[in-house]
Amino acid sequence: MHRQIQINNDDKTDRIFIVLGFNPWFNWLPEEQAWESNDFYGKMHPLDMLIDGLILPKVRFDRVIE
Protein backbone atom coordinates (compact mmCIF):
# COMPACT_ATOMS: atom_id res chain seq x y z
CA MET A 1 0.00 0.00 0.00
CA HIS A 2 1.33 3.45 -0.93
CA ARG A 3 0.09 6.92 -0.14
CA GLN A 4 1.33 10.47 -0.21
CA ILE A 5 2.61 12.24 2.87
CA GLN A 6 0.20 14.89 4.04
CA ILE A 7 1.99 17.94 5.39
CA ASN A 8 -0.10 20.25 7.54
CA ASN A 9 0.58 23.77 6.39
CA ASP A 10 -1.26 26.73 4.92
CA ASP A 11 -0.06 26.15 1.35
CA LYS A 12 -3.15 26.01 -0.87
CA THR A 13 -1.23 24.91 -3.96
CA ASP A 14 -2.95 22.13 -5.90
CA ARG A 15 -0.76 19.05 -5.95
CA ILE A 16 -0.63 15.90 -8.00
CA PHE A 17 0.80 12.79 -6.39
CA ILE A 18 2.14 10.06 -8.65
CA VAL A 19 3.17 6.70 -7.29
CA LEU A 20 5.40 4.70 -9.62
CA GLY A 21 6.50 1.13 -9.22
CA PHE A 22 9.52 -0.06 -11.16
CA ASN A 23 12.53 -2.32 -10.81
CA PRO A 24 15.39 -0.43 -12.49
CA TRP A 25 18.30 -2.49 -11.21
CA PHE A 26 17.13 -5.75 -12.75
CA ASN A 27 16.17 -7.03 -16.18
CA TRP A 28 13.56 -9.75 -16.63
CA LEU A 29 14.68 -12.74 -18.68
CA PRO A 30 11.44 -14.31 -19.94
CA GLU A 31 13.12 -17.36 -21.43
CA GLU A 32 14.61 -18.20 -18.02
CA GLN A 33 11.74 -16.77 -15.94
CA ALA A 34 14.35 -14.99 -13.82
CA TRP A 35 15.66 -11.55 -12.89
CA GLU A 36 19.23 -10.54 -13.67
CA SER A 37 21.03 -7.51 -12.20
CA ASN A 38 21.99 -4.91 -14.80
CA ASP A 39 24.84 -2.39 -15.14
CA PHE A 40 23.12 0.11 -12.81
CA TYR A 41 22.81 -2.35 -9.91
CA GLY A 42 24.32 -0.76 -6.80
CA LYS A 43 25.90 2.06 -8.82
CA MET A 44 23.05 4.51 -9.44
CA HIS A 45 20.06 5.36 -7.26
CA PRO A 46 16.68 4.54 -8.88
CA LEU A 47 15.50 8.15 -8.42
CA ASP A 48 18.57 9.41 -10.31
CA MET A 49 17.83 6.87 -13.04
CA LEU A 50 14.27 8.19 -13.28
CA ILE A 51 15.36 11.85 -13.39
CA ASP A 52 18.06 11.11 -15.99
CA GLY A 53 15.49 9.52 -18.31
CA LEU A 54 16.79 5.98 -18.04
CA ILE A 55 13.46 4.50 -16.91
CA LEU A 56 10.81 6.66 -18.59
CA PRO A 57 12.72 8.35 -21.43
CA LYS A 58 9.79 10.50 -22.60
CA VAL A 59 9.07 11.93 -19.13
CA ARG A 60 11.16 14.85 -17.88
CA PHE A 61 11.65 15.79 -14.25
CA ASP A 62 13.16 18.94 -12.80
CA ARG A 63 15.77 18.52 -10.10
CA VAL A 64 14.70 20.50 -7.06
CA ILE A 65 17.48 21.65 -4.77
CA GLU A 66 16.32 22.98 -1.42
pLDDT for res 19:
74
> Do the Cβ atoms of 25 and 46 come closer than 8 Å?
yes
| Least confident segment among 3-7, 8-12, 41-45, 46-50 | 3-7
Contacts of 49 (CB under 8 A, 6+ apart): 24, 40, 55
pTM of this structure: 0.53
Read off the pLDDT of residues 13-50 as tens digits, 9 standing for 90 and up: 777 777 777 788 999 999 999 999 999 999 999 888 88
How long, in residues, is the chain?
A: 66
CA distances from residue 33 to 2, 23, 36, 38, 50 in whole angstroms, order as listed: 27, 15, 10, 16, 25
